[in-house]
Structure 1
Amino acid sequence: MTAKTPKFWNWMAERYAKSPIADEASYQAKLAKTLEYVDQNTRVGELGCGTGSTAIFIAPHVREIVASDFAENMIAIARRKAEAAGLTNADFRVGSMEVLDGQFDAFLCHSILHLVHNPQDIIAEASSKLKPGGVLISSTACVADMGVGMKILLPFLRWPWLGLTPYARTKHEMRAMYRKAGLEIIHDWQPGKKAALFLIGRKN
């Protein structure tokens, strides 16, 4: 079971849905900032939506949100939550970038870019799906900036049975990837030295 397959995340789905957010204050601040860049005419895409908490929060404030995750159990939970909330504009799909069709005014990549081999490719593809003036919003654990202890842990976190494959990105690398994809960074926030980097980039 690795992060390259949905097995681990399907197994984790119910536990993940019930687990508390590690830094609730920072998460709420990120949600509040995100709302500054959307309105009732906005179409939003989200990659790696998990059980849909962010998408469900955003949905009442936008025209439509289309969210994907490769773990079908995660998507099943997200769909149940959306139905319970009475949402009709939140579309949850099993898959990756390929199921996020059309153009978007905003695109979300939260807690996903440090788990993939090719974050530059994903950022570039997300940028290509944005309309001119659209924004890419991401929250990424910059593992390489977290000190020696995390670097020692990395080989163990990549054990197949654990299902996690974090890669050692730095804040500077993440910012450079945004710029390479033609995105102007308009918001750059890290609530703590070891906290996730929250970036918003605009497609010019």
Structure 2
Amino acid sequence: MDNTVFWDRIAPKYATDPISDQAAYEATLGRMRHHLQPDHAVIEIGCGTGSTALSLAPGVKRYLGTDVSPGMIDIARGKVQDDVAQTLAFEVAAAADIPEGPVDAVLALNLLHLLPDLSQVLHNVWLALPPGGLLMTKTGLLKDGAWYLGLAIPVMQALGKAPYVRRMSKDELLTAIAEAGFAEVETILQDGIAPRLFAVHRKI
């Protein structure tokens, strides 16, 4: 199934599903707020229905969320209130299509393991950022997770219950980001059936 079709179909349910680990989510929000500055222009690729954008946008100069799914973006736009309308915007775009313009930080949260074109996306992020610009990611490490994920995911995909998923380990993910031209600033590993790695990198 085409990824856009999949995410459009599940967008309404995705918007209402509770966050699976609220404490971990709040922890990574706190670290992102630590790194983001009031004068920053931020792009979040794969922003989904905009929950993280709504939390972070008040603390920066400009925040643009993009997603390949028009259904996700429609829901995100419906959440924007007057108090952030001058700071926050949403656009439909593939992850590899980084909008032009000044940008100080790119966020890719719960996204990199869903990208068939991971290397190209990381390269395009590197091109979009100035030297010293920040890449903040949170990524599911399916290769480091429960053994049965490798069996369950293909079955779910065949039934239309899962999109493309890349099985990566922590080391493979960090190597891919480093090879794209980024230096590690900090990482936080969050446990689970599929562990998630929150990572902040700086463009070299």
TM-score (norm 1): 0.93
User: What displacement does 1:199 show?
Assistant: 0.9
Who is 1:78 aligned against?
Answer: 76
Structure 1 pair 147/163, CA: closer, same or farther in 2 (3 Å)? closer
User: What displacement does 1:84 show?
Assistant: 6.0
1:199 is aligned with what amino acid? A
Who is 1:152 aligned against?
Answer: 151
Cα deviation 1:9-52 (Å, max 9, x = unaligned):
11211111111001110111101000111121100011100000
Question: Structure 1: any 5+ residue segments left out of the alignment?
Answer: none
Equivalent in 57, 60, 73 of residue 59 of structure 1: 57
Residue aligned with 1:91, SS? strand
Would the aligned equivalents of 2:186 and 2:199 in 1 still touch at CA under 8 Å? Answer: yes
Distance in 1 (CA, whole Å) between partners of 2:98 and 2:127 is 14
Would the aligned equivalents of 1:157 and 1:165 in 2 still touch at CA under 8 Å? Answer: no
Matched, 1:103 2:102: yes
User: What displacement does 1:191 show?
Assistant: 1.8
Who is 2:199 aligned against?
Answer: 199
Matched, 1:93 2:53: no
Matched, 1:16 2:14: yes
Count of aligned pairs between the two proteins: 202
User: What displacement does 1:163 show?
Assistant: 4.1
Would the aligned equivalents of 1:2 and 1:161 in 2 still touch at CA under 8 Å? Answer: no
Would the aligned equivalents of 2:138 and 2:199 in 1 still touch at CA under 8 Å? Answer: yes
User: What displacement does 1:174 show?
Assistant: 0.6
Who is 1:38 aligned against?
Answer: 36
User: What displacement does 1:85 show?
Assistant: 5.3
TM-score (norm 2): 0.93
Distance in 2 (CA, whole Å) between partners of 1:9 and 1:49 is 12
Distance in 1 (CA, whole Å) between partners of 2:172 and 2:147 is 18
118-127 or 25-34: which moved more?
A: 118-127
Who is 2:120 aligned against?
Answer: 121
2:144 is aligned with what amino acid? D
Distance in 1 (CA, whole Å) between partners of 2:151 and 2:160 is 18
Residue aligned with 1:65, SS? strand
Would the aligned equivalents of 1:45 and 1:108 in 2 still touch at CA under 8 Å? Answer: yes
Question: Structure 2: any 5+ residue segments left out of the alignment?
Answer: none
Matched, 1:167 2:156: no
Matched, 1:2 2:17: no
Would the aligned equivalents of 1:67 and 1:100 in 2 still touch at CA under 8 Å? Answer: no
Fraction of identical pairs, as percent:
29
What root-mean-square deviation, in Å, do the aligned CA atoms of Structure 1 and Structure 2 show? 1.6
